[in-house]
């Protein structure tokens, strides 16, 4: 029954994230443009109705993803998050009244097919981190990600810098789910909130949200999510298999590898799609 709930939570997180991304882009583009690091930026965004509701859905999706990642291998749990790209793209296209291209249809089908393969090959189980070196690396990494993010925010915002900012945001969100996978959050309590992996989980989330919010002012939902989700699928998948003992059904390793490849390629195809209309004509 726990495994069934984990699958349902993963699907629910995809829907929440997909809707939230579009709403947050609308809210972010209603705010003043940011060309340097400003701690008040997120606070100002929360006064924008679409961004506030998007943040609520993001929080709900995040909680659902935490429930999913406790039982599901990271390569599957993160692919559920990538599936939200399908949701956000469909909403984005409907809202902008544009047509989904054949390339985008292929990409969406590839992501969906890869997710189905991963659902078949994954072995749900609770993971435990036994490598103290990796645990230390997980705890100190938010500092380096935050420093890189500040440099990019303060640097002149070329489109390449925006994509790099989103990759760093993807690493931060990846850290959130890796930390959730290995944390001992069997129940909520004050001592649980003080656990190092829970504290860095929160830090990763703040860094990722800040960087993604600024990037959403600069480029289209689909292109940014392509870079974001490719990072969020590829990095935790490798970490889960090599460091966290994430399990694949016996004899299905090749199928699982193809599934991960399909999801990553699908998100990258979405990222290089022609979205010139969406980056310039988003209603506010």
Q: What is the pLDDT of residues 81-128, one digit of tens each?
A: 878 878 887 887 777 666 778 888 898 899 999 999 999 999 988 776
pLDDT at res. 42: 63
d(CA 280, CA 284) in angstroms, rounded, equals: 11
Check: CB of residue 232 under 8 Å from CB of residue 82. Answer: yes
d(CA 214, CA 17) in angstroms, rounded, equals: 17
Task: Name, of 30-34, 195-199, 209-213, 255-259, the range with top average pLDDT.
Answer: 255-259
d(CA 162, CA 253) in angstroms, rounded, equals: 35
CB atoms within 10 A of CB 268: 17
pTM: 0.76
Contact partners, residue 176, CB within 8 Å, separation at least 6: 62, 201, 204, 205, 208
- Exposed e or buried b per residue across 1-12, where buried means at least 16 C-beta atoms within 10 angstroms of its C-beta: eeeeebbebbbb
Domain total in the chain: 1
Length of the chain: 284
pLDDT at res. 228: 85
d(CA 91, CA 95) in angstroms, rounded, equals: 6
Interval 198-251: pLDDT, tens: 888 889 989 998 888 888 777 776 677 778 888 988 999 999 988 888 889 999
d(CA 97, CA 100) in angstroms, rounded, equals: 10
The rounded mean pLDDT for the chain is: 80
Give the pair of three-digit tokens for residue 84: 């939200």
pLDDT at res. 110: 93
pLDDT at res. 277: 41
User: Which residue would you say has higher pLDDT here, 92 or 185?
Assistant: 92
Domain span at 79: 2-280
Mean pLDDT of 53-73: 87
């Amino acid at each position: 029954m726990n495994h069934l709930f984990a699958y349902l939570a993963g699907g629910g997180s995809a829907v929440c994230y997909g809707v939230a991304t579009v709403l947050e882009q609308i809210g972010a583009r209603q705010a003043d443009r940011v060309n340097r690091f400003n701690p008040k930026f997120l606070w100002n965004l929360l006064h924008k109705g679409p961004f506030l509701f998007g943040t609520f859905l993001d929080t709900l999706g995040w909680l659902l993803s935490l429930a999913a990642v406790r039982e599901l291998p990271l390569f599957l749990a993160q692919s559920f998050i990538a599936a939200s790209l399908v949701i956000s793209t469909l909403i984005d296209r409907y809202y902008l009244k544009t047509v989904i291209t054949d390339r985008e249809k292929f990409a969406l089908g590839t992501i969906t097919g890869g997710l189905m393969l991963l659902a078949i090959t994954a072995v749900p189980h609770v993971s435990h981190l036994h490598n103290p070196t990796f645990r230390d690396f997980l705890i100190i990494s938010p500092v380096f990600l935050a420093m890189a993010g500040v440099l990019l925010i303060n640097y002149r915002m070329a489109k390449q810098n925006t994509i790099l900012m989103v990759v760093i945001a993807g690493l931060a969100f990846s850290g959130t789910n890796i930390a959730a996978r290995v944390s001992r959050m069997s129940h909520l309590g004050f001592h649980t909130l003080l656990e190092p992996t829970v504290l860095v989980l929160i830090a990763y989330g703040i860094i990722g949200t800040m960087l993604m919010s600024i990037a959403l002012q600069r480029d289209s939902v689909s292109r940014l999510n392509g870079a974001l989700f490719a990072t969020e699928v590829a990095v935790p998948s490798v970490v889960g298999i090599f460091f966290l003992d994430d399990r694949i059904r016996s004899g299905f390793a090749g199928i699982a590898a193809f599934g991960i490849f399909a999801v990553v390629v699908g998100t990258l195809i979405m990222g290089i799609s022609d979205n010139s209309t969406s980056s310039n004509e988003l209603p506010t």
